[in-house]
Structure 1
Amino acid sequence: MATSSNIDVLMSDLDIANEEDEELVLDIECEEAENRFELCLVGKFLTEKNLNLRAMRSKMADLWKPAMGITIKSLTHGLFLFQFYHKNDMDWMVKNGSWSFDNATLVTNTSPAGGDPTKVSLNEVEFWVQIYDLPSGYMAEPVGEQLGNFFGSFVSYDLSNNESIWREYMRLRIKVDVRRPLKRKKKICKKDKTEVIVNCKYEKLGEFCFVCGLLTHTERSCKKKINGEADSSGREWGSWLRAPPRRQGSQVRRNGCVMSGTKGGATN
């Protein structure tokens, strides 16, 4: 018959820590057959405000109007999973951004197969930008690629913006790092060594900080302002960085002549 002292000895021989550290070799196939997140985007809104989740879900579904539907799930506080049910719907949403809710810019990214969607990097957002004050002859795509890589990372050049005989601006799609201030202008040197300054405006630009130029917060919670590091006499960024709504040109044929006009409606 075991005594209490014998039981204590037996119990002391059990090293739970060593057992927990021993590897358990999984000898079965555990790889997922497919990427469950293939038609999903992980996203967050750049804002300090608490979002009305019901209103956000309704608004984004109304903006995107996916033919096959969408499900929007909350992963963690401020982090969402946008699940589409057809590739065309998701591709259209990605191509036609940027998007915002309550003036807060939405940043999205894909989740890799087998990855943790809560660990996805959310540091870049794509914008259509308009480049103003380019000299005559400099509206070409190679110039646009160089400028796009200055203001962000060049994605594409809008050839459809070249249809009119007169172009007020060059239109580019760029990827912006939200951890860096929005760039506003760039000095360029022409072949004849003369210098000009071109200005950038961002389409569908939501709230951002007029003090430091970051998209991640507004002036109210800017640390530079709170810590007294910013010049209170002026702002280096402002609402002038927002591009005006675009208007599509239309042509009407009358009596054999083509007459130009405009058709209202904001586009991307």
Structure 2
Amino acid sequence: MVYKEKQSVEGKVLFIDPEEDDSFASKNLNMVGKILSDKEVSFSTCKAALLGIWGHPQGVAISDVGRNKVLISFKDARKGIQIRNGGPWSIRGNLLNLQIWNGRESVYEVDHRYMELWVQIHGLPLNYITRKTAEIIGKKIETVMKTENPRLNDTLQKTFLRVRVTMNITKPLPTGFWLATQHHQTIWVDFKYARIQDSYCLNCGILGHTKNECRNPISMASWDHMKPRYGLGLGVNRARVISARKTEQDDKETNREWTDAK
């Protein structure tokens, strides 16, 4: 057989018409998860931990994408959305940022700069503790995904507000703001972040690295420029902790927690 030598494909622009599989596109969901840590977490540890905390659901496949990144494919898209909305999840104290892979981009191009977080807003006067206030404050932070009504049946259920916001996590976490009240007073309002643990830098307030690894200048508090802006306690209600080694009792508690979250 005589082979005709072809020009190298190196650097060429190719136009390819991919075959579509409608059944796959309509029913499946693919997400790329990134572990927010400068230290590498092994793929085997990550895979075992995720499947364990989610109760080994059927129709879920996890594959290695690269350093601290995994592809998670759900046969049932509703299960995938349910799991994503149940986050943030934590692997050995490091948050997992789950983003949907839309298929129009390479798996390596999935944007992990943004992440949905529940923000608690503390220190508001009584007449400000409303869903409308949560919406207004949430829009000042980033893009509002959901707000929680602090009042139920004309009774106050919480002394703080909760709003789920898509945030740019490459920037420092905001810790609060000054509120100019209707009575010409200015009071400080605190932010707390649900289930992020203490996975933020105490030096600059960015998720994914520690103070010892930080090269940014120390951030000073808006309420006192002589004090550091960040300390322990910015994260509340610990993230669902994922560990490759869980006791039987831990599994039972996790399963109950996951059932309650549905």
TM-score normalized with structure 2 length: 0.75
**For residue 230 of structure 2, what is the amino acid of its counterpart?**
W
Q: Give the letter for the 1:214 counterpart.
A: I
1:214 aligns with 2:206: yes
Structure 2 alignment gaps of length 5 or more: 221-225, 240-256
Name the counterpart of 2:20.
32
Q: CA deviation at 1:139?
A: 1.4
Q: Which amino acid letter does the alignment assign opposite residue 182 of structure 1?
A: L
Paired amino acid for 1:230: I
Instruction: Write the distance in 2 (CA, Å) between the matches of 1:174 and 1:22.
Output: 42
**1:133, 1:140 → 2: CA distance?**
13
Distance 2:106 2:14 in 1: 22
Question: Does the alignment pair 1:118 with 2:111?
Answer: no
CA-CA distance at 1:81 after TM superposition: 0.3
Q: Does the 8 Å CA contact 2:43/2:70 hold for their aligned counterparts? A: no
- 8 Å CA contact retained: 2:40, 2:67: no
SS at match of 1:155: strand
- Alignment partners' CA distance in 2, 1:49 and 1:106: 13
CA distance in 1, matches of 2:238, 2:218: 31
Counterparts of residues 67-146 of structure 1 (less than 5 Å):
67-146=57-136
User: What SS is found at the alignment partner of 1:68?
Assistant: coil
Distance 1:215 1:236 in 2: 15
SS of alignment partner, residue 156 of structure 2: coil
Partner of 2:178, secondary structure, is: strand
TM-score (norm 1): 0.73
Shift of 1:31: 4.2
Q: Who is 1:157 aligned against?
A: 147
CA contact (8 A) 1:39 1:83 kept: yes
Larger radius of gyration: 1
Deviations 1:50-86 (A, max 9, x none): 2133232122122233643421111122221011121
Identity %: 20
- CA shift for structure 1 position 23: 8.0
Distance 1:237 1:31, change over 3 A: same
The match for 1:181 is 172
Counterpart residue identity of residue 218, structure 1: T
Deviates more, 1:66-75 or 1:141-150: 66-75
Corresponding residue SS for 2:133: helix
The one of the two structures with greater contact order (alpha-carbon pairs below 8 A, sep at least 6) is: 2
Question: How far 1:132 sits from its partner (Å)?
Answer: 0.7
Partners of 1:42 and 1:82 within 8 A in 2: yes
Residue 31 to residue 143, structure 1, CA distance change in 2 (3 Å): same
Aligned residues of 2:28 and 2:75 also touching (Cα < 8 A): no
- How many equivalent residue pairs? 229
Note closer, same or farther for the CA distance 1:221–1:20 as it changes in structure 2 (3 Å cut): closer
Letter of the structure 1 residue corresponding to residue 81 of structure 2: D
* Alpha-carbon displacement from aligned partner over 1:116-170 (angstroms, at most 9, x marks no partner): 11111111111112111110111112211121123332211113x4336352211
Distance in structure 2 (CA, Å) of the matches to 1:192 and 1:54: 58
Shift of 1:181: 0.1
- Stretches of structure 1 that go unaligned for 5 or more consecutive residues are 1-13, 247-264
What amino acid is aligned across from residue 83 of structure 1 in structure 2?
S
Do structure 1's residue 239 and structure 2's residue 228 form an aligned pair? Answer: no
Q: 2:242 — aligned with what?
A: none
Aligned residue in 1 for 2:40: 50
